[in-house]
Amino acid sequence: MSVRRLASGFFLAFAILAAAPAPASDLSYSFLEFGSIVAETDVSGTQVVGLQTVSLVPDDGDGLAIGGSLAVGRRFYFGGSYRAAVIATDAIIVSPLTTATVAGSFDWTTSSVAFGAVIPFGDRVDLFVELGQRSVHFDFGSFAGENFDTSDSAAEFAAGFRFNPTPRFELAIAAIASGVGEADLSTGTFDTGGRAAAAIRWYVFEDIGLGLDLTGGDVPYIGASIRFGFGELRAGN
């Protein structure tokens, strides 16, 4: 079954559940978030250019993260995010005369937009589902005339929960199925795939939170962020 069909079925089911009355948490679904990330990846690829074979061995790097969400009514929201990192990589160039290793870097960017539904589960937990679109781009430049640059965009579906046992602490966990999974740099294509994401957040003030984020996938990363919430716009109001 495709990611799109799976997402449509689950989203419809949760949207019906979201219409039912239930107690709501105090979690805000209107916020802006800024942070930094440390990313690494094991995606690789090999291309033949003339008499030379070029193989990439990526490592790790750092970058930035921007995200936001806007509550729509009592149970829905629009969200979006942008991640970008400069990641170190070695290019191993094999020719009939020699083998050379050239150090360099590449740019990785990913962005997404989504529409989400919230299902309050008591006064401490919110379940949520999102249906959206994700874009991924790898920009390598060229080491020996090859071209590993690749990008794609596809639908993705996420489901998870947000839990605030105290007003100052939040735990969020999500599972994500995407049509843009791991990249094959040799062919410039992407497989479908999944990834998990988790975050802990401590609210210094009611609507200002410091967070630690962990995300898996083809380019897993750890990030530190600051979130500015808008408490008057909550899904449960």
pLDDT of residue 127: 93
Rounded CA-CA distance 201/170 in Å is 5
Q: Band of the pLDDT at 5, cuts 50, 70, 90?
A: low
Give residue-wise pLDDT tens across range 105-134: 999 999 999 999 998 888 889 999 999 999
CB contact at 8 A, 176 and 112: no
Mean of the pLDDT values across residues 155-175? Answer: 93
**Domains (range + CATH), the chain:** 3-40+63-87+106-229 (2.40.160.20)
**% of residues, the chain, pLDDT over 70:** 86
Query: How would you label 80-95 residue by residue, b for 16+ Cβ within 10 Å and e otherwise?
Result: ebebbbebebebebbe
Which pTM was predicted?
0.85
